[in-house]
Structure formats: C-alpha cells, structure tokens
Structure 1
Amino acid sequence: MGDLRSLPVPDGLEGERLDAALARLFGFSRTLAAELISAGDVQVDGASAVKSDRVHAGAWLDVVIPPPPTMPVPVAEPVPGMRVLYEDDDIIVVDKPIGVAAHPTLGWTGPTVLGGLLGAGHRVATSGAAERQGIVHRLDANTTGVMVVAKSEVAYSRLKRAFKERTVEKHYHALVQGHPDPLRGTVDAPIDRHPSGDGRFAVVAGGKPSITHYDTIEAFRAASLLDVKLETGRTHQIRVHMSALRHPCVGDLAYGADPTLAARLGVTRQWLHAVSLGFEHPTGGERVTFTSDYPDQLGASLDKVRAES
C-alpha cells in the first residue's frame, strides 16, 4: 500500500490530460500514471477517472503513490566475452560485449559489467549506490566498446568529476543510414525522456543540454561511417541525435532505422561502438587512452556495405 496524497489541480495544468497532469505533478512516467489511474488509485473530486480525462484547475486529486521500487543488486557471475583491457589498483578498463548493461536497473534481468567484474573476483569501489558501485559512466546494453570502472574510492570521485567536467574524451564509431549533410558537424539539442513514456529518449525543449560532434570517416552507397565525439553523456545521446538528423544508426529500430537494410547487412542491434576512451589517470595524473576493435557483427556488416558500394 502506498501513501495517499491529496491536492488541488494547479492553474497551470488546466485542460491537461489526467495522465500528463499526474506525470508533471509527481515526476512519474506517463506509463506509471496510466497504470495508477486504471488500477483505481486516482480519484478526481472523489470519483474514479480515465487517463484521457481533462483536468480542471481547483479539482481535488486523491492519488495513492506506490512505494519506491527496491533496486536490484548486481548478480556476481562472470560475463562471457567481456575482456579486461587494463587494470591497476585504481581502475579497470573493459571491452563491453553486446547484451550487457553497465549495472542493474529496474526491468533489466540480463548480465551487467558490475556483476561480471565482481563474479570474476575483481574489487570495485564501494562509492555510490549499491547497485552502481564503481560505475562512473555507462554504455547502453547493446552498445559495445570501452568502459572504465573505478576500483578505489579516490578514482571513483576523480573520474566522476572528470566526466562531469567533460575532460574525458569519448569517441564512438557509428554506421548511420544515408549521408549527413554537412559531412562534419555538431548537434546541439536538448534531450529528455520521450513523451510517449516508452523508455526512449528524444530531442525535447527544456531537456538536458546535449552536444554531439560527428565527422564522416567513409561514405558508402547506403550508409556512412562516422567518428562521433561526445561532449555530454546523455542516455541514448548518439542514437537520439542521429535519429533527429534523419540518419539513424543502422539497426537501431527503436529510433527509426530501416529493418530491411539492417537485415541485409546482418545487423541485429544499433551499429554503435565505443572505440576509445581517454582521460587523466585518477592517481598517476598521466593521460591514458584505451581502444577497442569492432565486434565481429559490426566488422562483417561494414565489409558488406563497403562491398556493395
């Protein structure tokens, strides 16, 4: 049973749909708001309602707020295919394979980088929430490549600061549909959760500032291979920005990619790979850079699109 919250609809939400009004009032996703309404946990002026009802300023809302979900803890078991590229007393750098999340999250039951490191006997920093200990940045589950994890507490705090202050150099390669015009450019467009509440992100006015620099490495008949440098690190940033340019990553069906092209090239995920990561070593102070080769599927699809051209 959750907590009952009662309050009037503010003037600024006059005429909004009930699910959208709840999302704005309580910071819910639209999906959760709709679930609460259909479960009968929301009343407007003492009566049940449906999510598409329009609310009026001053109407009285009674909402049963569900208790916060308990976050899953990392399952400590080795992750097949995850290679350690470098390790010392402060950091461990891994080459993350496909289908592995950085750390446990609600709704993710698959393997994680954190669980894989713990399962292989590596020590990681205990700073941060229990389910994210040592994690200073993330890659999407289906984005492969270089990722650094903090082992010491001093490395955790210094690397977190380096990512926040944008002194880390993150380079990705992305195979995108078509040919971006211009061939080299910058996308400066704010990102937030997609209004649909389906887990995607989108360019949204008032979202978090997000900056992506890209440069064409090679142009093919159907696609272009880009070098992408991230200035900020928003969730799905490259995927969202490329989709906004109408040049989604090949295979990225969630963001508008052509399934026919993906199938022809044998791509079953977004064609996006973190090729290099450069930063100041948190205790040594020297600049270090780590690189990762393309996984087999991405390399093979690149050969195919090159041969077609």
Structure 2
Amino acid sequence: MRPPFTYAPPTAPIAVLYRDDDLLFVDKPAGLLSVPGRLLEHRDCLLTRLQGDDPAVLLVHRLDMDTSGVMVFARTPAAQKTLNWQFEQRSTRKTYLAEVTGHPACNSGTVTAPLMRDWPNRPLQKIDAAGKPSQTDWRVIRRAAETSFVELTPITGRSHQLRVHMAGIGHAIVGDLFYADAAVAGLSDRLHLHAAELTCVHPETQQPLTVTAPCDFIAP
C-alpha cells in the first residue's frame, strides 16, 4: 500500500549547471516537483522557483519529484520549440544512475516490458502487454554487499519507466516508495535515482551539448 503523500520540498538554492542566452541546465534536488501540482500547497516547484529569478525560463521536460539530476529549460520560445522536437524524436541522450537491490545475474541487459497507467492506483504505472512499447538499457557499474549501482539509459521516456522496469526484473531501486517492498523502500530516505547526464543539440550552435550533475549516493 502506498504511503500518504506529504510534500516537504527541499529549500536549498538550485544549482545552475550551465546557462547561456538560449538554455538553462540545473540540478533538480530529490523531493521537489518539476512543475506545479493541482493543490495550492503543491505549487512550489522547480519551474516556479526558476521563473521567480528569470521569467524567461520555459519548460521542456520533467523529472519525477523523487528523482534528482540534470534538467534543461529553454530561455526563448524558439529554443523551447527546438528542444521539444528533440525530446519528441528521442534524439536527446539521458543517462541515469541508480542503486538497486540485489545483484543482477549479468553485467548488462535490456528491459522491453510495455507500460501503461495503473488507473486504480494512479499515478503508478504497471507492466502490461497492452501498454506502450518501452525500453531501458542497463549496465552494472559497481556491486556492494546487498545492492548494485547501475547506469540506466531510457530509450523511451514513459512515466516511472526506470522504476517499474528495474522492479520488474527483481532489482527495485533503493528508496522507491511506489514499486519496492517496504524493506527496500526503507533503505534510504530518498529515491536512489539520479539523472546524471543529458545531451542535446544546442538550438543555435547546432553542436552537441552534454551537461552532467554529481550524484550524492554513489561515492567517487
């Protein structure tokens, strides 16, 4: 059973990773909504905080509230249109880091389980043959005593995709209150899922631009 939702976002300043006339990359902290929620008490979010400092900031994509890491925002309507097209065409490249329970039998693999909304339990998603095609590539980068650290590359961008796919193969993400059992969820007070790297084509220079964000749950 899902725990009741209590929104208590972090208050520390948002770290800017890269900024120019067209783009703004920031490091979203875990626990902060990307966009405003429906309720008044859920209006505080990354987008409104950034727009408070720079009204030109425009939304391009989202990260789950519990996920930390790199997000890109546009600073002009033209840049927003270009970036939206890149995300729609899946020409951006996103790399995530996660800590999962247990030890995968192989050092790498691909999950292709289709996903759909779990309507009675929304906003949860579920694996279902009638769902949308979904693909996640994964690679083990380190094995600890009871957990493994993995690099995740989503080929598609379904809601909660990485969380559902890893739980679906028996290696739920540490701290996941939605898809892990209570023992795994309780291993940390945050979800151990981090958007470590994002690559897109700069809308003006037409050159690839890669921005990274440090991960606080994996030691160097």
TM-score by length of 1: 0.64
Displacement of 1:246 after TM fit? 1.2
Output one character per residue of 1:32-76: Cα deviation in whole Å (capped at 9) or x when no partner. Answer: xxxxxxxxxxxxxxxxxxxxxxxxxxxxxxxxxxxxxxxxxxxxx
Give the one of 105, 124, 143 matched to 2:37.
Answer: 105
How many residues of Structure 1 are paired with residues of Structure 2 in the alignment?
210
Q: Distance in 1 between matches of 2:49 and 2:32?
A: 9
Check the 8 A contact 1:102/1:138 in 2, yes or no. Answer: yes
- Letter aligned with residue 53 of structure 2: A
- Letter aligned with residue 187 of structure 1: V
Q: Which has the larger radius of gyration?
A: 1
Output one character per residue of 1:93-150: Cα deviation in whole Å (capped at 9) or x when no partner. Answer: 00101221111132471531110111123522xxxxxxxxx22111111100000011
Partner of 2:125: 201
Check the 8 A contact 1:174/1:226 in 2, yes or no. Answer: yes
Partner of 1:191: 115
Superposed CA RMSD in Å reads 2.0
Partner of 1:45: none
Cα separation, partners in 2 of 1:154 and 1:290, compared to 1, 3 Å: same
Pairing 1:121–2:92 present? no
Q: Distance in 2 between matches of 1:157 and 1:111?
A: 25
Question: Identity across aligned pairs (percent)?
Answer: 36
- Letter aligned with residue 49 of structure 2: G
Partner of 1:136: 60
Pairing 1:254–2:178 present? yes
Give the one of 223, 236, 248 matched to 2:147.
Answer: 223
Pairing 1:83–2:15 present? yes
Once superposed, which parts of structure 1, at least 4 consecutive aligned residues long, lie more than 4 Å away? none
Partner of 2:82: 158
Displacement of 1:286 after TM fit? 0.8
Stretches of structure 1 lacking an aligned partner (at least 5 in a row): 1-78, 125-133, 304-309
Stretches of structure 2 lacking an aligned partner (at least 5 in a row): 1-10
Q: Distance in 1 between matches of 2:123 and 2:50?
A: 27
- Letter aligned with residue 206 of structure 2: G
SS at match of 2:66: coil
Structure with more helix by fraction: 1
Output one character per residue of 1:178-210: Cα deviation in whole Å (capped at 9) or x when no partner. Answer: 112322011111111114334211112221221
Equivalent residues in 2 for 1:260-271, closer than 5 Å: 262-263=186-187, 267-271=188-192
Give the one of 190, 196, 208 matched to 1:275.
Answer: 196
Q: Distance in 2 between matches of 1:187 and 1:232?
A: 11
TM-score by length of 2: 0.88
Q: Distance in 2 between matches of 1:169 and 1:284?
A: 18
Higher RCO by CA contacts (8 Å cutoff, separation 6 or greater): 2
